[in-house]
A = this chain, B = another copy of it.
Amino acid sequence: MSLVEAFRGVRNHSLYLCKNLITEDYSLQASEEVSPPKWHLAHTTWFFEQFILVPNDPDYVVKHPQFNFLFNSYYNSLGTRTARNQRGLMSRPSVAEVKAYRAYVDEAMANLIQKNNPTIDELVILGMNHEQQHQELLISDLKYSLWHNPLNPEVMDISEYTPESESKWISIESGVYEIGYQGDSFCYDNELNPHKVYISDFAISSALVTNQDFLEFMEAGGYDDPNYWHDEGWAWTKELEVKAPLYWEKKDGDWCYYTLDGLKPIDKKAAVSHVNFYEASAFASWKGMRLPTEFEWEVAQDQFDWGKRWEWTNSAYLAYPGFTVAPGAIGEYNGKFMINQMVLRGASVATSEGHSRPTYRNFFHPKYRWQFMGIRLAKSL
């Protein structure tokens, strides 16, 4: 597949994800952390316009002088940002105008790519990966926003994932292992600098924790016993009166959860999802076990099935030895988030095809639950 075909494939997938939305859905933003579908569609387009077309195509005319202002996100190096929590207020430009913006930029990008200027290929691939990240956010953000609607809208069928078999313990011997990306395809800067890590003897489970497992924790009073929780996690449960994973609600005495396909009874065999680090860690503590480190996960990952839940690790998101921040706006991509975030490994049912890999480092603040986040257990030997 040529680069231009791959580019068009990624771009079309964003629109495909929205195929069941009504115009009103495109503006939903239920909290500061989530963005409206329209904003995701526009922001990913702005990335190509601003970082590739404007610097590299002298004939390119920007679609609208204020779009740079409206669709910029977190890049402090470029101009003022619109307040992040007000993206849902941008009724104009309309959905139709944003789609026209996409088509306009896609056309210019396709032309530019076909000029075979090798200096931009790397940026095009970065832009495609950036858009794939936003595709996953579009799904998880939309789920969070639609969940606020008592009508339980149905817009997407992401089928649940059920681990194929009973979990077994996979044992790994202590020793020095090589960590980090060593291939020659695309990866993010935070995976680079392959380096040695000493790992002590440990075992890791072959399958993810299920809804049935997590219900047992709930029924055993797991949310009410501070001994299983981090101090900060315990305060979080108390303040928000948390008693179950996100999207779970009792209906006529039975647990249900909101999915993008409507409200459903809990599938007990499915892998638990939408738990945060505090919950994942408390569950592990209740089982007398722990979460794996990201290094343990990477070393053992080829012996187990993964890819349906982002898996919380007990590793803080920090720089690999020798990591340096690239100069300019592109350099803001990853390094500046390296504090108070925990690493998640794997991929989820919402991750775009081909976007993840064994060395991929996803990361979120330990309190967040709105991604498709799950639990895999480990123990020291």
- A interface residues with partner B (beta carbon < 8 Å): 22-28, 30, 66, 69-70, 74, 76-77, 82, 86, 88-95, 145-146, 148-151, 153, 174, 176, 195-198, 200, 202, 226-227, 229-234, 277-278, 281, 285, 290, 314-316, 318-319, 321-322, 325, 331-332, 336-340, 342, 366, 380
Contacts of A153 in B (CB 8 A): 91-92
B24 touches A91 (CB 8 A): yes
Chain B residues within 8 Å of A150, by CB: 66, 69-70, 82
Instruction: Give every chain B residue within 8 A of A200 (Cβ-Cβ).
Output: 195-196, 321-322
Main secondary structure of the interface of A (DSSP, over half): mixed
Apart from A27-B27, A30-B89, A230-B338, 14 more pairs, CB < 8 Å? A23-B94, A24-B94, A27-B91, A70-B150, A89-B145, A91-B153, A92-B149, A196-B200, A200-B322, A230-B336, A231-B337, A232-B337, A233-B339, A314-B319
Cβ–Cβ contact A28 & B89, under 8 A: yes
Nearest 8 pairs between A and B by C-beta? A316-B316, A24-B91, A76-B226, A198-B198, A200-B321, A231-B336, A23-B23, A25-B91
Interface hub of A281, A338, A339, A366 (most chain B Cβ within 10 A): A339
A27 CB to nearest chain B CB (Å): 6
* A336-B281 Cα distance, complex, nearest whole Å: 11
Within 8 Å by CB of A94, from B22, B95, B319, B336, lies B22
